[in-house]
């Protein structure tokens, strides 16, 4: 351990031939130092050294907590290390809106951290504005002029003296240049570095990185497809069906499944146009389409000292047009052997980029339990509460602590019990899930043991038409999956909203579906689900 200590006293006099240490340790004191805008906990040790007892010198030696981490394992959570105390952020600006903004505010309040809400004129009456310690209007309703306006958000951080920014999910959460700007202004971006976001944000680069780490990827093109003839040639080589994917963005935009050669050209043009409109980038790559796949994702966490752990899996296979509607943990499809294999693979991916913060590695798993890397989300996800419920961790708290420099143990976790989440959207399920903005009349949210509702809405609240349609997330936890489904069914029967259309009736029917209750579903399940 002495070999890792660095002598910091500039006046230190040393006779290398006669030096011996008469007293190794007189006292220890915890302090902090800042290196490259990061807070690093440091143990300061004063050593009594001399050529003889009467000719002594004081030597200050420092040691990083990463050195001592093996001796001091964590207490109750991934980032809660014994014997280490770091200065926490004083004020965090939440660069988001709605449910996730309120979710972050709640955790900050419990941690004693002041909060700043930002809002558009359309969100003036939102609860995240009401419950934050400070609130700053950053522009008109359009996202490009408010929640995506980096200069307005940074100005809000400057005038409120925020020392960190939590991006939530969506908007600027995976914007590398925004993370870079935060660093330039000495404001901590609560998430990974800009470089990490870039490495995983571009799907082609991510796929190459993952393949080099020894994690299986779906067969497909080696990079972007240059033109239509090349695309058709690759599709024939790997075999139909194939899926066309936009290299930028997500959320199902710029994605098309092609079942035969004659369908390739129209889908190629449609995918490129949609990608260009959504992301300003019409780059397309091709993958083999995995039939009857499960969408399984692994939650990972990494600290600033190179340690990574995983917090088991979530099953996100119930989707409509590549948008998740129901998530659960653990997956009814994943056994312990598969969980270990996928967990190790996820850690390899995070290790490959020395990942910092919370992130999610998403896999497609076929019916034979072969799994393939799909993408990495370098942010907290909408469905994070199901992991929280089966792990009993506040993941937003973990995010903040990791960003502040708290180390993790590197220990991975397995689920305890079962949790299910239903996303309640302002959409009309009887009319093609058409968005349904407007003023909420009556509202009653479900209660009871094991029932959690994350929402920002209230009676009289007007749902704006400018943003994502998510209204609330109902999360139910129980000892078994069957009990969790039964509890969710009861909770949904209690949940009513008037004034707008919601997806509550759809979820009620899904919870009663026998195939779903038995765990017999994949990503195409809703294509045959009659509602």
The answer to whether residues 254 and 281 touch, using CB atoms and an 8 Å cutoff, is: no
For the record, the structure tokens of 496 come out as 């009513």
Pairing outcome for strands 164-166 and 188-189:
parallel
The answer to whether residues 239 and 260 touch, using CB atoms and an 8 Å cutoff, is: no
* Alpha-carbon span 142 to 129, nearest angstrom: 18
Q: Is 106 a catalytic residue?
A: no
Please pick, among 379, 452, 477, 481, the residue that the annotation labels catalytic: 379
Burial grade of 227 (CB within 10 A; 0-12, 13-18, 19 or more): exposed
The answer to whether residues 48 and 56 touch, using CB atoms and an 8 Å cutoff, is: yes
* Alpha-carbon span 47 to 67, nearest angstrom: 18
For 424, phi then psi, to 5°, come to -95, 110
The answer to whether residues 316 and 377 touch, using CB atoms and an 8 Å cutoff, is: no
Strand partners, 323: 320
Nearest to 100 by CA among 471, 488, 391: 471
The answer to whether residues 358 and 350 touch, using CB atoms and an 8 Å cutoff, is: no
Q: CA angle 481-485-489, nearest 5°? A: 170
Nearest to 170 by CA among 327, 374, 326, 378: 378
Q: Round the CA-based radius of gyration of the chain to a whole number and report it.
A: 26
- CA torsion sign for 374, 468, 402, 327 is negative
* Alpha-carbon span 132 to 117, nearest angstrom: 6
* Alpha-carbon span 516 to 484, nearest angstrom: 13
SS3 for 324? strand
Q: Active-site positions?
A: 379
């Amino acid at each position: 351990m002495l070999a890792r200590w660095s002598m910091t006293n500039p006046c230190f006099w040393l006779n290398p031939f006669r030096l011996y240490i008469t007293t190794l340790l007189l006292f220890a004191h915890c302090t902090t130092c800042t290196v490259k805008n990061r807070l690093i906990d440091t143990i300061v040790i004063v050593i009594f050294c001399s050529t003889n007892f009467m000719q002594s010198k004081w030597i200050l030696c420092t040691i990083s907590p990463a050195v001592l981490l093996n001796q001091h394992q964590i207490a109750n959570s991934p980032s809660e290390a014994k014997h280490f105390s770091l200065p926490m952020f004083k004020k965090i600006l939440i660069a988001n809106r709605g449910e996730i903004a309120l979710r972050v505010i709640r955790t900050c309040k419990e941690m004693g951290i002041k909060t700043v809400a930002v809002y558009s004129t359309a969100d003036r009456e939102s609860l995240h504005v009401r419950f934050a310690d400070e609130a700053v209007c950053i522009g008109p309703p359009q996202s490009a002029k408010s929640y995506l306006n980096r200069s307005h958000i940074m100005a809000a951080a400057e005038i409120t003296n925020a020392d960190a920014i939590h991006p939530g999910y969506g908007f600027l959460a995976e914007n590398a240049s925004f993370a870079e700007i935060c660093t330039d202004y000495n404001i901590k971006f609560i998430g990974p570095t800009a470089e990490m976001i870039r490495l995983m944000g571009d799907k082609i680069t991510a796929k190459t990185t993952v393949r080099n780490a020894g994690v299986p990827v779906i067969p497909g093109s080696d990079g972007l497809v240059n033109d239509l003839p090349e695309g058709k040639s690759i599709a024939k080589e790997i075999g139909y069906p194939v899926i066309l994917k936009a290299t930028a963005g997500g959320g199902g935009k710029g994605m098309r499944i092609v079942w035969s050669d004659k369908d390739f050209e129209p889908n190629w043009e449609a995918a490129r146009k949609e990608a260009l409109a959504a992301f300003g980038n019409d780059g397309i790559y091709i993958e083999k389409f995995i039939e009857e796949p499960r969408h399984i994702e692994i939650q990972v966490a990494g600290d600033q000292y190179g340690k990574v752990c995983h917090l088991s899996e979530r099953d996100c296979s119930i989707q409509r047009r590549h948008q998740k509607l129901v998530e659960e943990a653990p997956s009814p499809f994943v056994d312990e052997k598969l969980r270990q294999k996928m967990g190790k693979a996820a850690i390899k991916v995070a290790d490959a980029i020395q990942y910092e913060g919370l992130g999610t590695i998403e896999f497609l798993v076929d019916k034979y339990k072969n799994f393939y890397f799909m993408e990495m989300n370098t942010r907290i996800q909408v469905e994070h509460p199901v992991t929280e419920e089966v792990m009993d961790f506040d993941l937003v708290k973990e995010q903040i602590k990791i960003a502040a420099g708290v180390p993790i143990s590197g220990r991975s976790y397995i689920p305890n019990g079962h949790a299910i989440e239903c996303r309640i959207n302002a959409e009309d399920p009887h009319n093609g899930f058409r968005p349904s903005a407007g003023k909420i009349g009556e509202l009653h949210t479900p209660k009871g043991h094991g029932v959690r509702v994350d929402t920002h809405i209230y009676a009289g609240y007007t749902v704006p038409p400018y943003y994502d349609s998510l209204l609330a997330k109902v999360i139910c936890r129980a000892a078994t999956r069957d009990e969790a489904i039964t509890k969710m069914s009861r909770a949904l029967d209690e949940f009513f909203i008037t004034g707008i259309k919601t997806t509550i009736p759809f979820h009620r029917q899904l919870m009663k579906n026998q195939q779903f209750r038995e765990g017999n579903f994949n990503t195409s399940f809703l294509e045959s689900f009659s509602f």
